[in-house]
Amino acid sequence: MSQAIQKLEKRIKSANSLLSVGLDPDFDKLPERFKKLEQPQFEFNKWIIDQTHEFVCAYKPNTAFYEARGEQGWKELRLTIEYLKEKYPDIFTICDAKRADIGNTNRGYVAAIFDTLGFDAITLHPYLGKEALAPFLERDDKACIILCKTSNPGSGELQDLLFQSRDDSSRDPLREVWLAVAESVANDWNTHGNCMLVVGATYPDELKQVREIVGDMNLLIPGVGAQGGDVEATVKRGINSKGAGLVINSARGIIFADNPANSAQTLRNSINQYR
């Protein structure tokens, strides 16, 4: 098991929490008092982190909200991860970047996200296959979180295509593409014990099937709150044999709540109630 995954599992225990807070500081939605500051996204994140840290196992900034502000946003993403590493080094950090390129090019992203910024984990598209993702998958100190069944309403367009193996076209039942991803990651990509999968809370039945395939592997679950995923269904269908194995992310529902600390504590407790 990779150091990053060990760190996650240790934090889940010590904080008694499966909650991840999405640090998605959409500039237009920031409270007015932050918009005026020189580093609005970083200052907002700091404010969120300082009041929610005891309730979380992970923080997950999504790069889109930072890139929208160019190099200034990229700088505030860096300040955020530096703040987390210094002040709360036990908390698992996920860069929700959804990257994936050919192997040679992925080395740039590895340098950017794992080394320069120092995140514990990154989210990745599976479309180019294991061979292309090798620069990420080789990192036995980090965690690679592969998109499997995403939370958006239209995720089925490609992910639910039914495929048949080339070798044995008559016997095997048809299976979905997302199932192929879950099986490949569990049985082939995870040689360093550093893989996780993304499964949306909006698809609890698929979550249950993924859990059956991947054993105790940790899963990142977006889609509770604003996207409509149900906490009880998510926990009951997704929990692993150790009563954990889930990192349930909420962003808008916490960071833009009237009282973010309260919202984080409430969701953490609500999740724990069903474990």
Active site residues: 98
Nearer to its own copies, 40 or 222 (CB): 222
State in angstroms the smallest separation of the CB of 198 from its own copies.
10
**Can residue 208 be called a binding residue for its own copies (CB under 8 A)?**
no
**Can residue 45 be called a binding residue for its own copies (CB under 8 A)?**
no
**Can residue 173 be called a binding residue for its own copies (CB under 8 A)?**
no
**Can residue 117 be called a binding residue for its own copies (CB under 8 A)?**
yes
**Can residue 103 be called a binding residue for its own copies (CB under 8 A)?**
yes
Pairing of strands 58-59, 219-221: unpaired
Nearer to its own copies, 239 or 255 (CB): 255
**Can residue 184 be called a binding residue for its own copies (CB under 8 A)?**
yes
Which residue matches tokens 């980090």? 142
228 in helix, strand or coil?
coil
**Can residue 215 be called a binding residue for its own copies (CB under 8 A)?**
no
**Can residue 171 be called a binding residue for its own copies (CB under 8 A)?**
no
State in angstroms the smallest separation of the CB of 19 from its own copies.
20
Token pair of 209, please? 């099937």
φ, ψ of residue 246 to 5 degrees: the values are -125, 140
Binding residue (CB under 8 A) for its own copies from 74, 83, 88, 256: 74
State in angstroms the smallest separation of the CB of 72 from its own copies.
8
Give the Å distances, CA to CA, from 151 to 59, 79, 158, 237: 18, 29, 13, 15
32 in helix, strand or coil?
helix
| 66 HSE (CA, 13 A, CB side) | 25
**Can residue 98 be called a binding residue for its own copies (CB under 8 A)?**
yes
Token pair of 6, please? 């060990």
Binding residue (CB under 8 A) for its own copies from 17, 41, 45, 62: 62
234 in helix, strand or coil?
helix
How many Å apart are CA 26 and CA 30, to the nearest integer?
7
How many Å apart are CA 204 and CA 170, to the nearest integer?
29
State in angstroms the smallest separation of the CB of 272 from its own copies.
27
State in angstroms the smallest separation of the CB of 11 from its own copies.
25
Binding residue (CB under 8 A) for its own copies from 31, 37, 158, 228: 158
Are 197 and 183 contacting, i.e. CB atoms less than 8 angstroms apart? Answer: no
Are 83 and 118 contacting, i.e. CB atoms less than 8 angstroms apart? Answer: no
Count of chain residues binding its own copies (CB under 8 A): 66
168 in helix, strand or coil?
coil
The residues of the shown chain that bind its own copies, judged by CB under 8 A, are: 24, 26, 62, 64-75, 78, 96, 98-103, 105-109, 111-113, 116-117, 125-132, 147, 150-159, 161-166, 169, 174, 177, 180-181, 184, 222, 227
